[in-house]
Amino acid sequence: MNFNIGSPSESSYSDGENDDGANLINDIEMINTEEETLITMNANNNICMVRYPNQLNNKAVHGGSVLGHSTINRYRESVDRNLFNDYFSKNPRYNDSMFRRQFKMPQTLFLHIANVVTGHANYFVQRRDGMGKLGLSSLQKITVVFRMLAYGIPTEVADEYIK
Counting the structural domains of the chain, the total is 2
Q: Is 52 exposed, middle or buried, given 0-12, 13-18 or 19+ CB atoms closer than 10 A? A: exposed
| 25: in domain | yes
| 130: in domain | yes
One domain for residues 46 and 119: no
* Segment 82-104, tens digit of pLDDT: 889 999 989 999 999 999 988 88
CA nearest to 147, candidates 127, 161, 135, 130 = 161
* Segment 114-152, tens digit of pLDDT: 999 999 988 888 888 777 888 888 998 898 888 888 888
Domain that residue 99 falls in: 76-162
One domain for residues 87 and 113: yes
pTM of the entire predicted model: 0.53
